[in-house]
Each structure stands twice: as structure tokens, then as C-alpha cells.
Structure 1
Amino acid sequence: MYCSGEPGELRHLLGKTNHRTPLVKVVPGEFAMVELGHGRPYKSSAPTGVSVEKDGITFADTKLGNATLEGTVTCTRWQD
């Protein structure tokens, strides 16, 4: 998980596996997006079930296109 900002002031979260899809991107207050590797990414400017935590994001039955996100992702790398 790559994040910009600092703990408690998360501005941007980008999660990917081995630099490949699936990819999850969240900009708190603006949008959430998931790319599954086939077709266009699914994006919502008003996703439900997304909570910003001190050091990550929690998804609670968040639906983005065909994907349902559930669980907490924690920032492992912080950038400005």
C-alpha cells in the first residue's frame, strides 16, 4: 500500500499486487476506484462503506462495479 500524506492525514491510497492488477485507488472525499485487469476500471465519486482510518482505509461491503471490497488496508509506504 502506497499512501500520500501522513498518518492521520491520508490524502491518497494506492494498493496493488506486484505492480499489477487488481489495483485499488482512493482519494478520500473525492473517489474510490478498482481495476480488475480486464475492461475499464470501476470508479465512484460517492462510494459507500469507505472509512478513512489513521493509517489506512476500511471498506465495508463497498461495491465498485463487479467488485465488492471488504476489510482494512494499511499504508505500508508513505510519500509526500
Structure 2
Amino acid sequence: MATNNEAVVEIAQTAGKFSSSIVLQADNKYIDVKSILGLFTTLVSSHSYELHVHGPDAEEAKKALVEVFAKHNLKVEVVSE
């Protein structure tokens, strides 16, 4: 469980560096990735995630977050709209 806490904090901190809107979709829930509380309740309950990123620095944000998810062995798919 400790690794999950680290993942949550690192994901939220990484997301916070960007001005883009970053939303994680887990099953039918949408969570603001900059919200540590939202991540805590979600990263535990689901196993496959979709990342929706919109904004001026979306490309950099996608790249950074995919790296953090991979580092913590979390599966994420970036959705290109």
C-alpha cells in the first residue's frame, strides 16, 4: 500500500506542474488528477485508467504523467481527442 501512496502524491505533484486540465477516467468515474483525495479513492479500486489531457502544455503533461504511471506499474492509456 505504501507504494500506492507514493504514486498518488507523485502523480498529483506532477500534474500540478502543468496548466492543462488533466482528468483520469477509471471505470465510469472522472477524477481531477491534481486532487490527491480523488486519486486516493480511485487508484486503489481500479486497474486500468484513461488519461484525458487538454490545454496549452498537454503534450508535455501527457509525457510526464505516463512516465510516473509506468514507474509505479500503473496501466494508463492516454486518450487523444
In the superposition, the TM-score normalised over structure 2's length comes to 0.28
Structure showing the higher helix proportion among its residues: 2
TM-score scaled by length of structure 1 = 0.28
Identify the structure with the greater strand proportion.
1
